[in-house]
Amino acid sequence: MNETEIDFSPFVPQVQYELIPIKNLVSNQDYQRALYEKNIQKAAKDFDLYQINPVKVSRRDGINYVFNGQHTIEIVALVSGSRETPVWCMIYDDLVYQREADIFANQMKYTKNLTPYEVFTANIEAGNDAQLLIRDTVESYGLCIANKSKPGKICAVATLERIYKNYGFHVLDRTLRLIIGTWEGAPHSFSSNMLSGVARLIYCFGDALKDELFKEKLGLFSVKELTRTARDRRSGSMGFSEAMLIAYNKKNQKNALQISKLYNAPANRIYY
């Protein structure tokens, strides 16, 4: 059998594409999840036409039921300011309600989300400024960003991005400089909690946190010791911030930094 005689129909969905106004789409089936308003607002704020996928629609009894893309239509409606706005729909005419629900339930079954590193490298290829700046900053210290933790490599890429986004370039740069100057690339010194913990100290105390004193005081403790102390205090990066601040303040009561100030950062800038 040659290629022209092969039946490909089992692998090609029987669909048609139509532009349908959002007002003519129904997306309130019981099997669907509730709308995430915060996600809709966020996506609308960063709206990108090229990120819009066709909406999957089951046409039953003349009604267009959305079984994949309910958030998409709400985002487009919000951005455009009208439910008259049409969206491209992939229309199935042969589905019953139960089959729609089954497709909805299993649509992500074999889908693997991109890792933060994969997203980061894609942003580098796209030439996006934030990721390029983060990469260049890391490399200026003789390090590189990688998908696995190894000597000279940082794999906590999502944390680097959060520090840059929430605290700014100078905090990110100083965070790297302090960690390198204090622990000289020791294992786990570039973990997510370590990076976040140091960044929080820098953000909260600014110039009151003395770099040389930090390196002198914290250099007396291994990353392993600090990790143990941090876990005894509280989970996440806040435990690391507290543990490092206690070590920094030891025998330094005259210029001690108040631990309460760690909690004074704006809520949307604090991550655990």
Using CA atoms, how far residue 22 sits from 69, 82, 90, 164, in Å, is: 11, 8, 14, 38
- Let me know: does 183 contact 223? Beta carbons within 8 Å: yes
Instruction: Supply the pTM of this predicted model.
Output: 0.81
How far apart, in whole angstroms, are the C-alpha atoms of residue 165 and residue 134?
A: 10
Query: What are the strands of the beta sheet with 25-26, ordered from one edge?
Result: 15-21, 86-92, 55-60, 63-68, 25-26
How far apart, in whole angstroms, are the C-alpha atoms of residue 56 and residue 77?
A: 17
Q: Is 218 exposed, middle or buried (0-12, 13-18, 19+ CB in 10 A)?
A: buried
Tens-place pLDDT, residues 77-104: 999 999 999 999 999 998 999 999 998 8
Query: Cα–Cα–Cα angle for 148, 179, 187, nearest 5°?
Result: 40
Cα 7 from chain centroid (whole Å): 43
Structure tokens of 5? Answer: 């005689």
Per-residue pLDDT of the chain (272 residues; tens, 9 = 90+): 555 678 888 888 889 999 999 999 998 888 888 889 999 999 999 999 999 999 999 999 999 999 999 999 999 999 999 999 999 999 999 899 999 999 888 887 888 888 999 999 999 999 999 999 999 999 999 999 999 988 999 999 999 999 999 999 999 999 999 999 999 999 899 999 999 999 999 999 999 999 999 999 999 999 999 999 999 998 899 999 999 999 999 987 777 899 989 887 654 444 43
Using CA atoms, how far residue 140 sits from 125, 144, 168, in Å, is: 19, 9, 17
